[in-house]
Chain A
């Protein structure tokens, strides 16, 4: 069984400050891990994904995430927040090497303060 826990349903940071969105996963098999962003009334856009090639994954829009097996974490970071980063962010997991469904966390709403 797999699950994802996102800590904090809402996170507020000042423009220019560090963004840190937390995600912990549980998986009985090696996982693929994803971060998606969703803007209002839109679908999901993939920010980045972990597929075992490298533990530090760089994505679009300056985001990156680090896979830490010992901590079962996959936190999303960005050094300097922009106003355009305000959105809903979802961490997700799916089993590696299997064509199976993807399980989402509950999401974290990121607010950017001017």
Chain B
């Protein structure tokens, strides 16, 4: 079956630093991947659609200069949270479309 691997599962960083989260499709090629953000006890909010070889499409209200998305290959998309602040602390989940939507296991980001 389709497997999406997300790394790291947890990361703690200092305020002002940048953090990169990787999302890999392990056994299939994904031309499109999706990045979500989930606040505690809330639903998943789509941040952006990552397209292989082109610019990501960001949802309204999401700062593209703060949340950098790179989809350089058919199996890897990365989300970089730049100049992180405590309010960026959240659970980030990626997804790839393959016979439906397969989700990564998520990354818990804590900015201190």
22 A-B pairs whose Cβ atoms sit less than 8 Å apart in the complex: A41-B108, A43-B6, A43-B103, A43-B105, A43-B106, A44-B93, A44-B95, A44-B103, A45-B103, A46-B102, A99-B32, A99-B97, A101-B46, A101-B49, A102-B34, A102-B101, A104-B43, A106-B42, A106-B43, A107-B42, A107-B43, A109-B41
Contact of B91 with A by CB under 8 A: yes
Least Cβ–Cβ distance between A72 and chain B, in angstroms: 19
Contact of A67 with B by CB under 8 A: no
Interface residues on B, range: 20 to 34
Contact of A90 with B by CB under 8 A: yes
- Given the interface contacts A41-B108, A105-B43, does A34 sit within 8 Å of B6 by beta carbon? no
- Are B34 and A42 in contact, CB atoms less than 8 angstroms apart? no
- Are A34 and B43 in contact, CB atoms less than 8 angstroms apart? no
Q: How many residues of A contact B (CB 8 A)?
A: 22
Chain A positions within 8 Å of B91 at CB level: 41
Could you list which residues of chain A lie within 8 angstroms of chain B, going by C-beta atoms? 32, 34, 36, 41-46, 49, 90, 92, 94, 99, 101-107, 109
Which residues of chain B in 3-50 are interfacial with respect to chain A, using CB atoms and an 8 Å cutoff? Answer: 4, 6, 32, 34, 41-44, 46, 49
The interface residues of chain A, by DSSP majority, are classed as strand
The docked-state distance in angstroms from the alpha carbon of A101 to that of B4 is 17
Least Cβ–Cβ distance between A4 and chain B, in angstroms: 9
Top 9 A-B pairs ranked by shortest CB distance?
A: A43-B105, A44-B103, A43-B103, A106-B43, A43-B106, A104-B44, A104-B43, A107-B43, A43-B104
* Interface-centre pick from B34, B41, B44, B97 (highest chain A CB count, 10 A): B44
Chain B positions within 8 Å of A103 at CB level: 46
The docked-state distance in angstroms from the alpha carbon of A36 to that of B44 is 11
The docked-state distance in angstroms from the alpha carbon of A36 to that of B6 is 18
The docked-state distance in angstroms from the alpha carbon of A29 to that of B4 is 28
